[in-house]
Amino acid sequence: MSTHEIDTILSTLSIESDDSLKPFFQDFEKFYEQKLWYQLTNRLKEFYLDDNSTSLRLRIYDTFILKFFDRINQFDVVEFLLLSIKNYTDHQESINYLNQLKSSFMELDSKKQRNDGLEDHSNGCLLIDLEIARLYLFQNEIIKSRDILDNVESNYLNKMDTLPLKVINAFYSVNSHFFKLKNDFNNYYYTCLLYLSTLDDDTKRTVTPLDLQNLAYDLSISALLGDKIYNFGELLHHPIMSNISNNSNFEWLFKLLNILTNGDFQNFENLINSNVLSNIPVLSSHENFLRQKICLMTLIESVFSKNIRTLTFDDISKSTHLSKNDVEHLVMRSISLGLLKGSTDQVNEIVSITWVQPRIINFDQIAKMNNRLIDWNEQVTKLGEQIESHGKSIWV
């Protein structure tokens, strides 16, 4: 396409745009004419992140970006398209746009000469496939989405050592959405943490504060309801939790996670009795499970906080508010979950603990460990002084 036609397209869009966006179109024209593709790409990124550009994004993509998409990074092209169709309610139309771009990439690669030093567009096509899988989930076509995810995982994620971070991040993002729809709390929790750990700077800029808040909320719910998740330390220390810990509407949820982490049975009861769960159907329907979970967490905290390897049934019963008849079942449950290793003596009503599952601890738990180390140091010092006082005659 000639420079004159590009100028006409950009001028038309500039006239229709908000005044704050007009400098963008001037730069687009200048960088395009000078073939400064890197500078043009960065300016387009700024344009797409401007809230005022929403209504013009798809037109910019259709009439401008597609004219030189082969000159810029393939991931940036995909990202421009994704931002263009982000608010589309017609998911099938969005899928069509993605398939059209994939076909364009494949057509470019078919004309590519061997050993020409240029990168093919296979990774861009892979990213498009993952985004199509995401749209299938929006359409409730679970099987189609799962087929794409399984294909990417088995043929690329598990076989290739150097897959681009953006593709890996997209896989975890779509996969976590799949697990959310399936109410698979365990897999959603771990996959979502992997998604957060693979966010690159460009992707972070496209994530809104509301997205982060919803993500923190969903992660917290999955941590509470996952039947294999008994360590919230990694989540509680993650920066994303500031999106609910500093929000009065969700502060109770952050508090509940801390209560379970500390095995604080009394505060758990107080929070439950405040009827805060009644407004959250998914939690209120799992209240019995949460009560089982606080008992297990209280048992773990009891073992961790005490500098002893044995606990009596009475100690456990008192801390967990369970009857003595239920203590053995609680201990066996914790052992089967891999939270503890040990044995029970039914006759003497004693539990011997040999191992506790490693976990990330909070500052209160660190303080308890510090106090234990101080006590241990004092005991060693006293023992050394006793040995010295009783052994003087031998040493002389």
Rounded average pLDDT over 174-181: 98
Q: Where in the chain is the domain with CATH 1.10.10.10?
A: 292-384
The SS3 assignment for 166 reads helix
Confidence of residue 393 (pLDDT cuts 50, 70, 90): low
How far is residue 54's CA from residue 43's CA, in Å, rounded to a whole number? 15
**Is the pLDDT confidence value at 100 over 70?**
yes
Residue-wise DSSP of 184-220: -HHHHHHHHHHHHHT--HHHHHH--HHHHHHHHHHHH
pLDDT at 383: 86
- Inform me whether the pLDDT recorded for 307 exceeds 80: no
User: Mean pLDDT across the stretch 274-289?
Assistant: 90
Q: What pLDDT is recorded for position 394? A: 56
Residue 361's pLDDT band (cuts 50, 70, 90): confident
Instruction: Note whether 342 and 354 are within 8 A (CB).
Output: yes
Chain-centroid distance, C-alpha 82: 21
CA distance 380 to 378: 5
Contact call for residues 189 and 216 (beta carbons, < 8 A): no
* Residue 370: band (very low, low, confident or very high) from pLDDT cuts 50, 70, 90: confident
Instruction: Judge whether residue 112 has pLDDT over 80.
Output: no
pLDDT, tens only, 45-88: 999 999 999 999 999 999 999 999 999 999 999 999 999 999 88
Cβ burial, residue 342 (10 Å; 0-12/13-18/19+): middle
Average pLDDT (338-351) is 91
65 token code pair: 């970006």
Mean of pLDDT over the chain: 91
Looking at residue 119, its pLDDT comes to: 80
pLDDT tens for residues 200-257?
888 888 898 999 999 999 999 999 999 999 988 889 999 999 999 989 899 999 999 9
Mean pLDDT of 364-368: 76
* CA–CA separation, 154 and 190 (whole Å): 19
High-pLDDT (> 90) share of the chain, %? 66
Q: How far is CA 84 from the centre of its chain?
A: 25
Lowest mean pLDDT across 125-129, 167-171, 311-315: 311-315
Task: Give the separation between CA 333 and CA 343, rounded to whole angstroms.
Answer: 12
- Residue 395: is its pLDDT beyond 60? no
pLDDT value at 118 more than 80 = no
What pLDDT score was predicted for residue 115?
62
Predicted local distance difference test score (pLDDT) of residue 22: 95
* Residue 195 burial by Cβ neighbours in a 10 Å radius (0-12, 13-18, 19+): buried
Q: Do 149 and 171 contact (CB within 8 A), yes or no?
A: yes
Check pLDDT > 80 for residue 363: no
- Tell me how far apart the alpha carbons of residues 388 and 380 are, in angstroms, rounded to a whole number: 12
Cα four-point dihedral sign 49, 51, 53, 54: positive
Query: Going by DSSP bridges, is the β-strand pair 310-312/340-345 parallel, antiparallel, or unpaired?
Result: unpaired
pLDDT at residue 391, rounded to an integer = 65
Model confidence, pTM: 0.87
CATH 1.10.10.10 is held by the domain 292-384:
yes
- For residue 301, what are the CA distances in angstroms to 30, 36, 244, 306, 324? 64, 60, 25, 8, 18
The residue ranking higher by pLDDT, 370 or 37, is 37
